[in-house]
Amino acid sequence: MDNSPTCGQARAIAERVLDPELPVLTLADLGVLRDVREDGGRVTVTITPTYSGCPALDEMRADLHRALRDAGYERVEIRTALTPTWTTDWISADGRRKLAEHGIAPPQHKAGPVTLNLTPPVTRVRCPRCGSARTTELSRFSSTACKALRRCEDCSEPFEHVKEI
Amino acid sequence: MSFDNAYDAITDASDDKHWAFGTGFDDPLSGVDRAVPAGVSTADLTAYCLMLADDALVLSQRLTEWCSRAPELEEDVALANIALDLLGQARLLLTRAGEVEGRGRDEDALAYLRDEHEFRNVRLVEIDCGPGPGGDFAVTIARLLVFSTWRLAVFERLVASKDPVLAAIAAKGVKELAYHRDHAAQWTLRLAGGTEFSRERMVAGMARVWPLYDELFTTHEVERSLPDVAVPPSDVRAEVDEVLDQVFTAAALDRPDVAPMSAVAGKSGRDGVHTEAMGFLLAEMQHLARSLPGAKW
């Protein structure tokens, strides 16, 4: 099989790899892809974890390896950078649009994690289906560490929200 | 690839499509710059990384005991997610400890093959707060509130550590711990402000964990010997007191008035001297890895 890589394609290939937990986003949309370097046939990709315990990090590494290998790159190294720390602000505008289109409320900008909240939480997340601002948090933690579970009080649909961190 | 046995298929690390996240969990610090800063004792840095790692590892183990036993499904998920964050912090810190030590021990060797006296966690994280006999959801919430408030205060300072790996782990950890603290505070308000019964249990829960509060702020000689690397926990006492007092005020709870659990001949969790609960916890956590050395799961 002749699949020798065309020089300079590694970045484009790595950018197209999908996030294993939010497969509507690419790793580039999610902002965890920090660097792609190509030196002859050798590719070094740097990614960063979203959460310390994110189990998807190993899967991201494997997917990147596979995508680059399938494109003909034989020497692929995936490095992990812990700094600068990933926050939801690294999710691209395109990524936010894709999340909303798939019924997942995107995180707000520059929000950071909640501070100690001793009064009833203020609702500020809009329903990704009907756009209503009347939504309620059902659980701060949802199917993955990066999402919360909410319900819309107008259309009654439950939906997930990528929470600010 | 085909397999005669379904278990072989799901534990095959070479084909990730069989398994949601693959099974080839490897070095969590892969590719991170790990030079030890000049002038820092590797023995002390190893011990300090183990302290921070063991606190997270042991509480993570305790929190997972609630999975499927919490009062509601959302809480199963929440406690499991918090446990996962802490496990992630523990993996990074154990890996750092192992490589600074330089004796070839990886995160698994440190988690599964050390004995009780080698664990350096504070005793607060090891006591049995349920879901079994003698425990209660409210005790678990009380411990989580105290622990996450304390660890968050330490990590906020650790971000400026001279050790770049500790600083990076802390920078990630503060965001996670802020969520844990808020979650525990929300439950404290809900239980204290709920029925008479839930309030009684919250009061009892706080009283149960409070004897282990003072130990959190006792600065150990290892922490003292790592200036600009470690955070002396005595530095955070005023801040932790203040945050907890805010929660107590909002929940109309009194700060518990109970005597601290004493150290044993001056030694406590950080020195490897633990409570009776620790041996049982380790037996459950370590038995599979010790019974089947090299097993993959």
Q: How confident is the model at residue B26 (pLDDT cuts 50, 70, 90)?
A: low
In-domain check, residue B20: no
CB of B67 within 8 Å of any CB in chain A? no
Rounded Cα distance between B100 and B268, Å, is 24
Per-residue pLDDT, A51 = 87
Q: A86: which chain B residues are within 8 Å (Cβ-Cβ)?
A: 172
Q: B247: which chain A residues are within 8 Å (Cβ-Cβ)?
A: 116, 118
- Structural domain spans, chain A: 10-80, 98-162
Rounded Cα distance between B118 and A25, Å, is 43
Q: What is the mean pLDDT of residues B262-274?
A: 94
Per-residue pLDDT, A1 = 40
Asked if pLDDT for residue B130 goes beyond 50, the answer is yes
In-domain check, residue B125: yes
Q: What is the mean pLDDT of residues B158-187?
A: 94
In-domain check, residue B59: yes
Q: What is the mean pLDDT of residues B3-19?
A: 51
Q: Which of A88, A141, A149, A165 to mutate to test the interface with B (most CBs of B within 10 A)?
A: A141
Per-residue pLDDT tens digits for B203-212: 999 999 999 9
Closest CB to B32 among A80, A86, A138? A80
Q: A46: which chain B residues are within 8 Å (Cβ-Cβ)?
A: 31
Q: A63: which chain B residues are within 8 Å (Cβ-Cβ)?
A: 16
Tally the C-alpha atoms within 13 A of residue A69's C-alpha that lie toward its C-beta.
9
Distance from CA of B19 to the nearest CA of A (A): 10
Asked if pLDDT for residue B2 goes beyond 80, the answer is no
Per-residue pLDDT tens digits for B220-252: 999 999 999 999 999 999 999 999 999 999 999
Cβ–Cβ under 8 Å, residues A60 and B93: no
In-domain check, residue B32: no
Rounded Cα distance between A50 and A53, Å, is 9
Tokens read off for B233: 């926990």
Rounded Cα distance between A163 and B153, Å, is 22
Number of domains in chain B: 1
Contact B81 A52 (CB under 8 A): no
Rounded Cα distance between B124 and B146, Å, is 9
Proportion of chain B above pLDDT 90, given as a percent: 82
Q: CA dist B16 to A28, A53, B20, B154, Å?
A: 21, 19, 7, 38
In-domain check, residue B10: no
Question: Which portions of chain A are predicted below pLDDT 70?
Answer: 1-7, 110-115, 119-123
Q: Nearest-CA residue of chain A relative to B174?
A: A113
Cβ–Cβ under 8 Å, residues B209 and B139: yes
CB of A3 within 8 Å of any CB in chain B? no
Selected residues 123-162 of chain B with any CB under 8 Å from a CB in chain A: none
Closest CB to B31 among A80, A116, A143? A80
Contact A52 B31 (CB under 8 A): no
Per-residue pLDDT tens digits for A135-154: 998 888 888 888 899 999 99
Rounded Cα distance between B13 and B25, Å, is 9
Domain hosting B87: range is 38-291
In-domain check, residue B19: no
Asked if pLDDT for residue B22 goes beyond 60, the answer is no
Neighbouring C-beta atoms of residue B218, cutoff 10 Å: 17
Q: Which residues pair with A162 in a beta bridge?
A: A147
Rounded Cα distance between B169 and B102, Å, is 20
Q: How confident is the model at residue B213 (pLDDT cuts 50, 70, 90)?
A: very high
- CATH number of the domain encompassing residue B222: 1.20.1260.10
A10-80 placed in CATH 3.30.1280.10: no
Distance from CA of A52 to the nearest CA of B (A): 5
Q: Which residues pair with A35 in a beta bridge?
A: A46
Rounded Cα distance between A103 and B90, Å, is 34
Q: What is the mean pLDDT of residues B209-216?
A: 97
In-domain check, residue B17: no
Contact A20 B21 (CB under 8 A): yes
